[in-house]
């Protein structure tokens, strides 16, 4: 009988680290990734490169990633670049280059699946792995029952470094929830192993918000209730949590605090929606800036349509999203009688959605979304000829 071992592997300061491979002269310096293309390094007559710094940044960008040297100034992901500039004016600012990060993402994932083929993609820079059946995972080494799994974790890290030149942090535990927590415990370049018996010592002292799924809102409510650490959350009565957070979330909080999680590693998921949105350089008024807004709106529809075609989907619901200058968000969605992939159709229905929304306030963002995706040609059972549907369903409800 084999013990379940799940790894969470998280690349260290991923975007920034990829940029440092390209510009090794920046190693050790505070570097921030974010903003638009305007901050491309410029070649100088003497052959060197001139980098932008945060000092003169003006705009609405946010920090995507910061090097550890920049983090020492208090800069972190999702912080506005203006605020980051106030904290670290001399930090180098580099534009995001998603194509390059995707290339490195493919490289590290390809290296990992050579060793551990059961991989769940959690974005460009992190993955879960089910190591249970990987040869050697269950072996003892020199009398150490965890020797095999520890060696496997090190092999994964070595493979990532060999394939990319980059470091990562790995947590290995019996489930995804704990592994995610553990990959963060020894960053950068960490390898953390935890058995269930280690939960009180290693997990319970951590702040509750470190749990994946406890965000700013839930964390603030817990604080207000006097619950700060995961241990305090674990000590709370489930009934009490249910009272304050609802049956679903309340019970989940209790399970999570005790490190219980039986979610499988899911190797593939069909996408459910596809969207494009953009924040304007300055807030636009629905009437005064009607033409500019219309052009942007049409372009977003065309981009969504081309994304659908390129990825091989069509969708049945068309939605819009507006963010007003006061950051309030409204959404509208309408479901069509048939699936579509067509830019003009998307534009038409998105336009109708837009007409049902208050337009007397300046806008900061607009977005277009398509939901209810399917692969073209895959007729749902209900739309097929009745006899065929009956055969497929064997016997439909008797009503």
Partner DNA sequence: TCTGGGGTCCTAGGACCC
Site of interaction with DNA (CB under 7 A): 58-62, 64, 77-78, 80, 82-83, 86, 122-126, 180, 211-219, 246-249, 269, 271-279, 307, 317, 319, 327, 329-335, 356, 364-365, 367, 369, 372, 399
203 secondary structure, DSSP code: I
- The counts of H helices and E strands in the chain are 13, 15
Nearest approach in angstroms of CB 115 to DNA is 21
Nearest approach in angstroms of CB 293 to DNA is 14
How far is residue 299 CA from its own chain's centroid? 25
Nearest approach in angstroms of CB 213 to DNA is 5
Q: Which of 181, 170, 174, 187 is nearest to 130 (CA)?
A: 174
Nearest approach in angstroms of CB 131 to DNA is 19
Phi, psi dihedral angles at 300 (to 5 degrees): -60, -40
Nearest approach in angstroms of CB 338 to DNA is 11
Q: Where are the beta strands (DSSP E) in the chain?
A: 6-11, 31-34, 42-43, 49-50, 52-53, 63-66, 92-94, 119-121, 126-130, 168-173, 191-193, 273-284, 315-324, 329-340, 363-371
Name the residue nearer to DNA (CB basis): 139 or 184.
Answer: 184
Q: Which of 98, 332, 22 is nearest to 106 (CA)?
A: 98
- Residue 326 annotated as lining a ligand binding site: no
- Residue 261 annotated as lining a ligand binding site: no
Catalytic one of 19, 126, 223, 237: 126
Structure tokens at 26: 């920046």
Name the residue nearer to DNA (CB basis): 64 or 67.
Answer: 64
Neighbours of 46 (CB within 10 A): 5
How many angstroms separate the CA atoms of 278 and 301, rounded?
A: 12
Name the residue nearer to DNA (CB basis): 62 or 151.
Answer: 62
Q: Which of 351, 361, 299 is nearest to 329 (CA)?
A: 361
Nearest approach in angstroms of CB 246 to DNA is 5
Name the residue nearer to DNA (CB basis): 44 or 399.
Answer: 399
Name the residue nearer to DNA (CB basis): 28 or 271.
Answer: 271
Q: Which of 128, 270, 145 is nearest to 195 (CA)?
A: 145
Catalytic residue flag (residue 309): no
| Cβ atoms 119, 266 nearer than 8 A | no
Name the residue nearer to DNA (CB basis): 225 or 334.
Answer: 334
Neighbours of 342 (CB within 10 A): 13
Instruction: Extract the annotated binding site for Mg(2+).
Output: 10, 125
Task: Return the active site residues.
Answer: 126
Instruction: Extract the annotated binding site.
Output: 10, 125
């Amino acid at each position: 009988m084999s013990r379940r071992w799940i790894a969470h592997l998280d690349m260290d300061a991923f975007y920034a680290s990829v940029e440092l491979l390209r510009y090794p002269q920046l190693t050790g310096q505070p570097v921030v990734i974010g903003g638009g293309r305007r901050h491309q390094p410029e070649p100088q007559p003497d052959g060197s490169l001139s980098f932008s710094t945060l000092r003169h940044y003006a705009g609405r960008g946010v920090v995507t990633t910061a090097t550890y040297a920049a983090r020492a100034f208090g800069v972190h992901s999702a912080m506005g670049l203006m605020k980051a500039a106030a904290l670290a004016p001399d930090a180098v600012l580099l534009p995001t280059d998603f194509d390059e990060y995707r290339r490195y993402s493919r490289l590290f994932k390809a290296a990992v699946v050579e060793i551990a083929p059961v991989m769940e993609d959690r974005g460009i820079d992190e993955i879960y792995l089910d190591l249970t059946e990987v040869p050697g995972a269950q072996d003892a080494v020199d009398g150490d029952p965890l020797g095999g799994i520890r060696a496997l974790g090190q092999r994964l890290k070595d493979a990532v470094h060999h394939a990319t030149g980059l470091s990562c942090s790995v947590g290995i535990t019996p489930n995804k929830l704990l592994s995610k927590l553990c990959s963060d415990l020894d960053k950068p370049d960490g390898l953390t192993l935890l058995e269930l018996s280690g939960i009180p010592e290693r997990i319970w002292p951590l702040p509750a918000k470190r749990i994946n799924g406890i965000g700013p809102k839930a964390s603030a409510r817990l604080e207000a209730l006097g619950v700060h650490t995961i241990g305090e959350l674990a000590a709370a009565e489930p009934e009490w949590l249910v009272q304050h957070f609802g049956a679903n979330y309340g019970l989940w909080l209790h399970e999570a605090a005790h490190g219980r999680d039986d979610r499988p590693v899911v190797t593939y998921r069909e996408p459910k929606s596809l969207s494009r949105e953009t924040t304007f350089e300055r807030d636009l008024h629905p009437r005064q800036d009607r033409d500019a807004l219309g052009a942007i709106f049409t372009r977003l529809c065309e981009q969504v349509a081309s994304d659908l075609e390129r990825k091989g989907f069509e969708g049945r619901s068309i939605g819009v999203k507006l963010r007003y200058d006061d950051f309030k968000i409204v959404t509208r969605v309408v479901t069509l009688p048939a699936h579509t992939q067509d830019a003009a159709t998307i534009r038409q229905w998105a336009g109708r959605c837009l007409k049902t929304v208050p337009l007397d306030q300046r806008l900061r963002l607009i977005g277009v979304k398509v939901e209810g995706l399917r692969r073209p040609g895959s007729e749902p059972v209900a739309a097929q000829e009745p006899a065929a549907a009956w055969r497929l369903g064997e016997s439909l409800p008797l009503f």
